[in-house]
Structure 1
């Protein structure tokens, strides 16, 4: 890991030497790991079957990422992909790299109409790695807009391989209600350990197995941060997944795909396992993980999609006018102020409890946070 000015100069000299020696830095992405969690697009984006190997799907992911217009689905919570370029990404002023998804806004939001910031928004947490090889690399999370407020930092879930591809079903759009069993644990805002068990259903629109066929395992376990749910069901047939705010940042597939500013990422957002900022002058690896554990009925799981990754410093003229996103400040008190917009009480009208929970109505005699201040009713 490079931390001192001297080491920064060494890195710059090494990159310059490679360039002078005829090594051309490219935007070609190499996929080192692809481990999706179960999902309706698994074995489809990319294609895979019972004869596929891990190396097969890694190469297929590379083909999709390096051919504009394709997407890779990471499945439900925890599914991830790990990538690298043929060079380190250097930490310079402004955002350093871009991750495009396939996010979009709804054209007929039943509540917010054309003013919506919702539609298909499926945030993925981004991690960056530094090291000579994947096995020994040191990993850091890029702290997005929800990191210090509503994100759970120790979520763990295990999925169990289904024993059947069709079963009893009564849920709307389902062909198997109790399809993928899961167990999860996490620490809540009060510091208490919680757990839950349930099933994901299989929907009628995607009938292939949702279990990654190249994974020779009966259980898949994923760990990491977990973002707050963002979906609203207006009726069983209409779901909308909202952005956390118009200026929410730091997550893949968390804004419309054409929004390059909020699809960009700054290495300066890196934090360690304690949430403390870490000074990195370059990164070697990028990992994107589906960050929400949420199932939206017939619409299926919330699954982060990735369509391309770009080193912005290789884009001609970018460093002269880089993307600048001002990060949220780390709270200095025990009160955490959520950045998630309240879709019941919008914008400045939102009220929160002292533990950071949004409320739809206030009660007399209680203290709330409103516009960043304590208020009593």
Structure 2
């Protein structure tokens, strides 16, 4: 009887112990439908990653994008609206441990292919700085629209910082060699008259068709010069009359865009939204205005600027300045890789009042062209 009672007591203990061993929790292990750690994607197109548990006990799953939990499903599915690099972390957790796997999603903007013209299709913004031609041709909105669809228009950007922004009916792709041509009207030596403009480019990272994304400078020959000033800022003040337009900058300098006897309209842009003052920022190139053998000149730079008689561009033969998207740099000067660009901005890059005969230094452009179009 005692033996029976002992066995009866021992049997549940053994059964309970076996059940406990069977229910031991183990850390989860997963595999994924994509083997690479970096995944290429395009805005507004779905990205999918499937997870499969290959070992361990059941676990709670989370997909975390740039620190924010996005989903608790076994499969990740998301549409990224803005181009950029995203860190996607898969995390599975149970009482025994945690399994993690990180992916980098490289989301690119859509590249608009095809197109009907190699020339500018649309002016997005025209905001010139004050100048002798502003408010009349070639310094009005009609002149800005006049560079669309050809390389024989003419628009002036006024003094330092004045700019124009435009686009094409397709993306300009970054291929071997120069990608973009910008036509100006510089004069060759010995009567040098260049009015260099810096060129900026941007991608439509958010896909909205507007130039509201990050801008990159196409670094020219003077980008690393000790005489080049980065993060330059200038403010022009409207005299609200045919009068000199005063300015101050962030280098503790002041001066004026001076009127002359040849152009007697107001020099401050009357179509600017702010009729009290205008602020422009960017990179300032050194002045090249001076006199040689009794002739007033403004010399160009070797390469990389609009409206500059550049030897490195072979302007004498090509009749345009050429630009390579591969020379794009970010705000800190770090090179960036752009597969294609959608928007172009050109602004006057020197601050010099010139004189009563020649007027201020003002970049002028006649049009722009995709050098790869149809090739």
- Settle same-fold status: TM greater than 0.5: yes
- Whether the 8 Å CA contact 1:140–1:270 is kept in 2: the answer is yes
1:195: how far off? 1.0
Number of aligned residue pairs: 265
Which of 1 and 2 has greater Rg? 2
Match of 1:198 in 2: 255
- Whether the 8 Å CA contact 1:2–1:282 is kept in 2: the answer is no
Please give the secondary structure, in 1, of the residue aligned with 2:279: strand
**2:287 aligned with 1:229:** yes
Between 1 and 2, higher relative CO (CA 8 Å, sep ≥ 6) is seen in 1
| RMSD after superposition | 2.7
1:24: how far off? 3.7
Distance 1:73 1:261, change over 3 A: closer
C-alpha separation in 2, matches of 1:262 and 1:25:
18
**2:120 aligned with 1:37:** no
After TM superposition, the structure 1 = structure 2 runs for residues 215-364 of structure 1, keeping only pairs within 5 Å, are: 215-216=272-273, 217-234=275-292, 238-244=295-301, 248-255=302-309, 258-260=316-318, 263-298=321-356, 299-314=358-373
Structure 1 or 2: more helix by fraction:
1
**2:215 aligned with 1:139:** yes
After TM superposition, the structure 1 = structure 2 runs for residues 130-209 of structure 1, keeping only pairs within 5 Å, are: 130-131=203-204, 132=207, 133-134=209-210, 136-149=212-225, 150-165=227-242, 179-185=244-250, 194-209=251-266
1:278-305 Cα distance to aligned partner (Å, 9 max, x none): 0000001000000000121111110100
C-alpha separation in 2, matches of 1:249 and 1:5:
36
Structure 1 or 2: more strand by fraction:
2
Please give the secondary structure, in 2, of the residue aligned with 1:94: coil
User: TM-score of the superposition, structure 2-length normalised?
Assistant: 0.64
Distance 1:259 1:227, change over 3 A: farther
Match of 2:155 in 1: 72
User: TM-score of the superposition, structure 1-length normalised?
Assistant: 0.64
C-alpha separation in 2, matches of 1:250 and 1:261:
14
After TM superposition, the structure 1 = structure 2 runs for residues 85-96 of structure 1, keeping only pairs within 5 Å, are: 85-96=168-179
Distance 1:261 1:295, change over 3 A: same
Please give the secondary structure, in 1, of the residue aligned with 2:252: strand
- Whether the 8 Å CA contact 1:65–1:307 is kept in 2: the answer is no
Please give the secondary structure, in 2, of the residue aligned with 1:154: strand
C-alpha separation in 1, matches of 2:334 and 2:217:
10
1:119: how far off? 1.1
Please give the secondary structure, in 2, of the residue aligned with 1:293: coil
C-alpha separation in 2, matches of 1:309 and 1:163:
34
Gaps in structure 1 of 5+ consecutive residues: 49-56, 110-117, 167-178, 186-193, 317-377
- Whether the 8 Å CA contact 1:155–1:184 is kept in 2: the answer is yes
Please give the secondary structure, in 2, of the residue aligned with 1:284: strand
Please give the secondary structure, in 1, of the residue aligned with 2:119: coil
C-alpha separation in 2, matches of 1:141 and 1:264:
14
Please give the secondary structure, in 1, of the residue aligned with 2:170: coil
Match of 2:200 in 1: 127
Gaps in structure 2 of 5+ consecutive residues: 1-82, 86-103
C-alpha separation in 2, matches of 1:315 and 1:242:
35
1:81: how far off? 0.2
- Whether the 8 Å CA contact 1:253–1:306 is kept in 2: the answer is yes
C-alpha separation in 1, matches of 2:359 and 2:193:
12
Distance 1:123 1:278, change over 3 A: same
C-alpha separation in 2, matches of 1:31 and 1:99:
14
Match of 2:12 in 1: none
C-alpha separation in 1, matches of 2:160 and 2:134:
13
- Whether the 8 Å CA contact 1:156–1:224 is kept in 2: the answer is yes
C-alpha separation in 2, matches of 1:60 and 1:5:
43
